[in-house]
Structure 1
Amino acid sequence: MNVLLKCVVRYVVSFELDFKGWRERNTVNTVPYTSSIPQLPRDTHPLGNFNSKKITVVGMGQVGLGCIASILNQDICGTLAMIDIAPAAKKLEGEAKDFQQGGGFHQTATILASSSYDVSEKSDLVIITAGVPQKPGESRLSLVERNAKIMGAIMPEVLRYSPKATIMIVSNPCDIMTALACKLAGPDFPQGKIFGTGTILDSSRLQCLIAQSMDLDPRNVHGYIIGEHGDSSVPVWSSVRIGALPLLAPGQPVDDTLKAIHKAVIDSAYDVINLKGYTNWAIGMSVAYLAKAVLNDNRTISPVSTCVRGLYGIEEDVFLAVPCSIGSQGVQRVAILPLTPEEEATLQKSAKGLWEVQKPIWEQLDSQN
Structure 2
Amino acid sequence: MATTSRIAIVGAGNVGATAAYALMLRGLFAEIVLIDQTPERAAAEATDIADANAIAQPVRIWAGDYADVTDASILVITAGAATKAGEPRTAIAGKSAVIVRDCVRQAMEAGFDGILVVASNPADVMTQVAQAMSGLPSERVIGTGTLLDSNRFRKRIADQLSVAPGALEALVLGEHGDSEVMAYSTVRIGGMELETYLAGQSFDRPAIAHDVMRAGYTIAEGKGYTSFGVATAIARICEAIHRDERVILPVSTMLRGQYGIEGIYLSLPCLIGAGGVLRILTPALAADEQTALLASADILRQTLQAAG
| TM-score (ref. length: structure 2) | 0.94
CA contact (8 A) 2:12 2:41 kept: no
Shift in alpha-carbon separation, 1:151–1:297, aligned structure 2, 3 A: same
Alignment of 1:277-288 (within 5 A): 277-288=224-235
Which one has a larger percent strand, Structure 1 or Structure 2?
2
Which of 99, 108, 113 is equivalent to 1:150? 99
Of structures 1 and 2, the larger Rg is shown by 1
Matched residues in 2 for 1:160 and 1:220: separation? 45
Q: Does 1:159 align with 2:105?
A: no
Alignment of 1:1-369 (within 5 A): 53-85=5-37, 88-114=38-64, 116-186=65-135, 189-249=136-196, 257-315=204-262, 317-361=263-307, 364=308
Measured after TM superposition, the shift of residue 270 of structure 1 is 0.6
- SS in structure 1 at match of 2:151: helix
- SS in structure 1 at match of 2:142: strand
- SS in structure 2 at match of 1:55: strand
More deviation, 343-352/94-103 = 94-103
Matched residues in 2 for 1:103 and 1:340: separation? 47
Measured after TM superposition, the shift of residue 249 of structure 1 is 4.3
Matched residues in 1 for 2:257 and 2:101: separation? 27
Matched residues in 2 for 1:170 and 1:82: separation? 15
Measured after TM superposition, the shift of residue 100 of structure 1 is 1.4
Matched residues in 1 for 2:261 and 2:299: separation? 12
- SS in structure 2 at match of 1:319: strand
CA contact (8 A) 1:112 1:119 kept: no
- SS in structure 2 at match of 1:235: strand
Give ranges in structure 1 of 5+ residues lacking alignment.
Answer: 1-49, 365-369
- SS in structure 2 at match of 1:164: coil
Shift in alpha-carbon separation, 1:215–1:249, aligned structure 2, 3 A: closer
Measured after TM superposition, the shift of residue 348 of structure 1 is 0.4
Give ranges in structure 2 of 5+ residues lacking alignment.
Answer: none
The share of aligned pairs that are identical, in percent, is: 31
Measured after TM superposition, the shift of residue 219 of structure 1 is 1.1
Q: CA RMSD in A?
A: 1.9
Structure 1 residue runs of 4+, over 3 Å off? Answer: none
Partner AA of 1:327 in structure 2? G
Matched residues in 1 for 2:39 and 2:54: separation? 25
Higher relative contact order (CA 8 A, sep 6+): 1
CA contact (8 A) 1:238 1:248 kept: no
Measured after TM superposition, the shift of residue 260 of structure 1 is 1.6
Matched residues in 2 for 1:163 and 1:56: separation? 10
CA contact (8 A) 1:151 1:181 kept: yes
User: What is the count of residue pairs matched by the alignment?
Assistant: 304
Matched residues in 2 for 1:335 and 1:226: separation? 11
Shift in alpha-carbon separation, 1:256–1:281, aligned structure 2, 3 A: same
Matched residues in 1 for 2:40 and 2:224: separation? 22
CA contact (8 A) 2:242 2:274 kept: yes
Matched residues in 2 for 1:106 and 1:81: separation? 17
Partner AA of 1:150 in structure 2? I
More deviation, 117-126/171-180 = 117-126
CA contact (8 A) 2:11 2:36 kept: yes
| TM-score (ref. length: structure 1) | 0.79
